[in-house]
A and B are shown apart, each in its own frame.
Chain A
Amino acid sequence: MTTTARLEMTEVVKTFGPVRALDSVSLEVGAREVHGLLGGNGAGKTTLMNVLFGLYKADSGTVRIDGREVTITSPRDAIELGVGMVHQTFLQVDTYTVVENVVLGTPLEGGSHRAGLAAARAKIAEISERFGLDVDPDAVVEELPVGVRQRVEIIKALYRGAKVLILDEPTTNLTPQEVDALFASLRTMVAEGMSVILITHKIRETLAVCDKMTVMRDGARVQTLDRADTDAEHLAAIMVGESHGSYETPTLTEAVALGTEAPGAVVGEEHVGGFEPGVSVVGATVRNDHGVELVSGFDLEVGKGEIVGFAGVAGNGQVELAEALAGVRPLERGSITVHGSALSGKPTAQWLDGGVAYVPEDRHRDGILPTSGITENLILGSHRSARVRRRGLIDWRAARQRAAEAIDKFSIRADSPATRAGDLSGGNIQRVILARAFAHRPRLLILHNPTRGLDIGSTRFVYEQIREATAAGCSVVVISEDLDEVIAIADRVIALYQGTQAGEWASSQVDPYEIGRRMTGLGTASVGGAA
């Protein structure tokens, strides 16, 4: 490179206790460049960026911005040096308005607070205009949809004059339309001289928007490539690691879910012929925690061995629907029958006996007992079953035996079955929850964002497990904000909008843009966007 790079990180090391999260990682990003940071869960992408943003303190290594060596010990330093970061979970004060969130931590211009806010409002309007980031500055952020909240997050960084913008998995909750708009905004930014770092695990997105990409694996940099010198197949191979000798060409399903293959290419796997009736939901009506009726008169049939996928923007009744199907949330009206037994209104224990298994969205809150060991977490729900009982008490030897087997089978990275679940990484917690769900020998399996945050290997493993379950006649409901995933694994895709079915497609006939329109409440009129 002839000119100095905008950003140079050299041999950065970060350890969390005994875990070496970053093993001497170097990264170079030029001006006017969208740089993709690619890798599976636990690869260290976010950790590296948290170091750059001053949230984590690196053990060693140097950072240069525009050729000058800098010390970043807090986000304040990073902001002053022109580094902005959009986190995966938005860092916003829910009860504040957009403009209040944007100005937080900055001195306001003008004589009074009111005048300062007015000036900020004008500046936000100017930023919105310039980069195509449309927001209402006086809206309270907790009332805004995810896509808009993300724009607020980007505006926050731009308002502070960021010249290096980091985005952590920004497309997870977006519709295809919103992804397109976001990428257009990013291109505008680099055209104006900014640098953008895009953390992602989706190869297709990287190829669509990045100029360069760095692949990370197990806390180390594997390779940095030019967009022109690579393709999807090549990147996938590097991500999984040819050196491990374990790389196999992904199946079509996996390829679509990983974003190396365009959706719609799943035809070959279409299930021929119908399914035997399995799960039937009639007129289900569910209230949310605030007593609002979010799902009304919902009908659903899932055949034995069928996978039904729900696509939708978060907050459109997914959680309520999933919990109702799992028997965790009571039905206001309606009924649920699983493989012949009517379960609605019965106690949870009977749902479990009826073969209903649930993988919740919020792993920490609803999925595990963080201070209990893996063993305890794995037998939760089946602690009444004969498999772990002896003389009316829990047979801990058998339970530990099962835990050890699960750790092995699901390759949970833990020291022992006694390791506290809360000490595991997000991906490993998900493996524990999945191991528990599959151990139930389920007849109805409800999966909410089952592979979020998992690497390619784990994702493939989850899909294999799902397929194994359906082969045994299990009915599967997959609810995911990852549209690619829903399209890839489901036999039937249903768009969810405000708790109602806004459209239904066989997986061979889906058009992601059409699903995107439906799940944001737009009508049937096709605008003609091709996949």
Chain B
Amino acid sequence: MSEFLALVVPMWVVFTLAAQGTILSGRTGVFNVTQEGVMALGASVGFVVAYKLESNLGGLFIAFLVGALVGLVLTVMTTQLRMDQFVVGLALFFAATGAAGLLYREVIGVTMTPPKIDTLTKYDVPLLSDLPVIGEPLFRQDYVFFFVVVLSIAMYWFMQRTGAGLDFRSVGENPKAADSLGINVNLARTWSTIVGSGLVAMAGAYFPLHFTGIYTDGMIGGRGWLVIALAFLGGWRPLYVVAGAAFFAGMDALGQKAQVIGLGIPHQFIEMLPFVATLLVMVFAFRWARQPAHLGLNYDRESRLAG
């Protein structure tokens, strides 16, 4: 049990962080589909910077900035140039994926034994970490874990409990109404996409910085796509996303565990487990899950077609 939780919790950090970044922009109507690429880029940048500067915090920070840059491109293309969000997103996914591998090969090169960095230091939560079974896996964590907890609560507070959050959410629900009341639609979409994309990249950087200490191409392994599903499952709400991420992380850990035990099933099938489970959950979740009414739709103030 304790061992299983230890697999789940770090994956929960990844899913939660990336999904909070996704819903942040989603709530203003920007449907980000670049996760798989931006996470790979975040992993590459995070590793390279951490390796060269010998600073894990620096790696996380620069990964955030590079992710933010991708977000900036996405938002300029969609809010200023009004290009299709999905098409631009897919293009950026490919570009980011390519850039991730390129950066690593340019800086590190091809080596027999890949260079390794020290993974993040873990800290104990006083008293709680001494609890039996759950103490160690839940309350002995690195600072990214604590950051994600604070971020989730802060995002919930901002969106649901403040006037600014009310204005913020209205941009994704009815941008024309927001605009007519003096709320700057493009500004909200721009900053939420920049910050959101930065958070997604940070989630990617967590792979080398927490799990492996090395970077390999394809290490995100499709989890970026699952993040999109998670955003829908969580109804684009910060606290539901926290719960949904636990489910996704659980499925992920189950898949890993099953591989280690070796059930005599080809590992390709076991790797499918989280995706199949997701598919099943989504079939039911889509019946009740709400999404921002203008998710994925660009806003043009002078358009005569839009109602």
Check A87 for interface membership: any CB of B closer than 8 A: yes
Asked if B180 and A96 make an inter-chain contact with CB atoms under 8 angstroms apart, the answer reads no
Bound-complex Cα distance A91 to B170 (A): 11
Set B161, B176, B293, B301: member contacting A94, Cβ < 8 A? B293
A422 contacts B305, C-beta separation under 8 Å: yes
Given contacts A75-B181, A79-B182, A87-B180, contact A108 B293 (CB under 8 A): no
Q: How many residues of A contact B (CB 8 A)?
A: 34
CB atoms of B163 and A92 under 8 A apart: no
Specify which chain B residues have a CB less than 8 angstroms from the CB of A56 in the assembled complex: 301-302
A91 and B176 contact, CB distance less than 8 A: yes
Cβ A93 vs Cβ B163 within 8 A: no
Report whether over half of chain A's contact residues are helix, strand or loop; otherwise say mixed.
loop
Contact of B166 with A75 in the complex, beta carbons under 8 Å = no
Most buried by A among B167, B181, B307: B181
Asked whether A104 lies within 8 Å of B170 as measured between CB atoms, the reply is yes
- From B169, B174, B181, contact of A79 by CB (8 A): B181
Looking at the complex, which one of A55, A76, A87, A93 makes contact with B302 (CB distance below 8 Å)? A55
Q: Does A340 sit at the interface, judged by CB under 8 A?
A: no
**Interface residue? B177 (CB, 8 A):** yes
Measured CB to CB, the closest approach of chain A to B190, in angstroms, equals 16
Q: Is the CB of B181 within 8 A of A156?
A: yes
* B163, B305, B307: residue with the most chain A Cβ atoms closer than 10 Å: B163
B305 touches A113 (CB 8 A): no
**A104-B162 Cα distance, complex, nearest whole Å:** 11
A75 touches B180 (CB 8 A): yes
Shortest beta-carbon distance from B186 to chain A in Å: 11
Q: Which of A75, A89, A94, A103 contacts B182 (CB 8 A)?
A: A75
- Report how far A370 CA is from B163 CA in the complex, Å: 38
C-beta contact mask, A64-103 vs B, less than 8 Å → 1, else 0? Answer: 0000000000111001100001010101111110001101
B293 — which chain A residues lie within 8 A by C-beta? 94-95
Q: Which of A79, A85, A107, A364 contacts B305 (CB 8 A)?
A: A364
Q: Mark B110-154, 1 if CB is under 8 A from A, else 0.
A: 000000000000000000000000000000000000000000000
Which among B179, B180, B183 has the highest number of chain A CB atoms within 10 Å?
B180
Q: In the complex, are the beta carbons of A103 and B166 less than 8 A apart?
A: yes
CB-defined contacts of A104 to chain B, threshold 8 Å: 166-167, 170, 177-178, 181, 183
Are the C-beta atoms of A116 and B163 separated by less than 8 Å? yes
Does B217 reach chain A (CB closer than 8 Å)?
A: no
A497 at the interface (CB under 8 A from B): no
Q: Is the CB of A100 within 8 A of B305?
A: no
Taken together as a complex, chains A and B put the C-alpha atoms of A163 and B294 apart, in Å, by 32
Q: Is A75 touching B179 in the complex (CB atoms < 8 A)?
A: yes
Distance in angstroms between the alpha carbons of A92 and B307 in the assembled complex: 12
Note all chain B residues with C-beta closer than 8 A to A55.
179-180, 301-302
Q: Which listed residue, A93, A113, A116, A364, touches B174 by the CB 8 Å rule? A: A93
Pair B173/A95 contact, Cβ less than 8 Å = yes
- Interface contact A370-B305, CB-CB below 8 Å: yes
* Chain B proximity mask over A41-59: 1 for CB below 8 Å, otherwise 0: 0000000000001011100
Neighbouring A residues of B183 by C-beta, 8 Å:
104-105
In B153-173, the 8 Å CB interface with A consists of: 161-163, 166-167, 169-170, 173
A100/B174 in contact, CB under 8 A: no
* Residues A310-346 near B (CB distance < 8 A): none
**Separation in Å of the A107 CB from the closest CB of chain B?**
7
- What separation, in Å, do the CA atoms of A87 and B179 have in the docked complex? 13
On chain B, the residues within 8 Å of A106 by CB distance are 163, 181
Which chain B positions have C-beta within 8 A of A100? 166
Contacts of A16 in B (CB 8 A): 302, 304
Tell me the complex Cα distance, A164–B198, Å.
44
Complex CA gap A75/B301 in Å reads 11
> A105 touching B161 by the CB < 8 A rule?
no
- Are B170 and A93 within 8 A (Cβ)? yes
A96 close to B301 (CB less than 8 A): no
Complex Cα distance A333/B18, Å? 49
A156 to B180, CA, bound (A): 11
Contact of A105 among B167, B173, B301, B305 (CB under 8 A): B167
Within 286-304 of B, Cβ neighbours of A (below 8 Å) are at 290, 293, 301-302, 304
- Evaluate whether A113 and B161 lie within 8 angstroms (CB atoms) in the complex, with A91-B177, A93-B177, A104-B177 already known: yes
Q: In the complex, are the beta carbons of A103 and B180 less than 8 A apart?
A: no
For A92, the chain B residues whose CB sits under 8 A away are: 174, 177
Q: In the complex, A56 Cα to B302 Cα: how many Å?
A: 6
Cβ of B177: which chain A residues have Cβ within 8 Å of it? Answer: 91-93, 101, 104
Whole-angstrom distance between the alpha carbons of A116 and B162 in the complex? Answer: 10
A55 to B178, CA, bound (A): 12
Docked Cα-Cα span, A87 to B176, in Å, equals 11
Residues of chain A within 8 A of B181, CB atoms compared? 75, 79, 91, 104-106, 156
Q: Closest CB of chain B to A246's CB: distance in Å?
A: 27
16 additional contacts (CB under 8 A) given A94-B293, A107-B163, A370-B305? A16-B304, A53-B180, A55-B301, A55-B302, A57-B302, A74-B182, A75-B180, A80-B182, A92-B174, A92-B177, A93-B177, A95-B173, A96-B173, A101-B177, A104-B166, A364-B307
Would you mind naming 14 contact pairs between A and B with Cβ atoms under 8 Å apart? A53-B180, A75-B179, A75-B182, A79-B181, A89-B307, A94-B174, A96-B166, A100-B166, A104-B177, A104-B181, A105-B167, A116-B163, A156-B181, A364-B305
User: What is A's interface to B at a CB cutoff of 8 Å?
Assistant: 16, 53, 55-57, 74-76, 79-80, 85, 87, 89, 91-96, 100-101, 103-108, 113, 116, 156, 364, 370, 422, 425
Q: Which 6 A-B pairs have the closest CB atoms?
A: A76-B182, A105-B181, A91-B177, A108-B163, A93-B173, A105-B183
